Amino acid sequence: ATTALSALAVTAGNGLGGRAVALSRPCAVTDYSVSRQISHEYDLPVAAEGLRSVLAVPVVVRRRVRGVLYGA
């Protein structure tokens, strides 16, 4: 593991996590780098970690998204 994703701030609508935030629901891709479902602002740090299949789940508290939980 590297620190490429450490303290990365994800904005709503950008990348997989941003998509999950914008839609307020879990989102997944089988190949992050070529997925047409997401935008690709975070390709470099994701590639640096060697990630391919990724799941992003919004953390919702009192009907508001407070964060994103990832699995890869």
Segments making up each domain of the chain, as ranges: 15-71
Contacts of 23 (CB under 8 A, 6+ apart): 58
What CATH class has 15-71? alpha beta
Count other C-beta atoms under 10 Å from residue 10's C-beta.
20
pLDDT tens digits for range 7-53:
888 899 999 999 999 999 999 999 999 999 999 999 999 999 999 99
Cβ atoms of residues 10 and 18 within 8 Å = yes
HSE, side-chain direction, 13 A CA sphere, residue 67: 4
> So what's the pLDDT on residue 1?
63
> So what's the pLDDT on residue 8?
86
pTM for the structure as a whole: 0.90
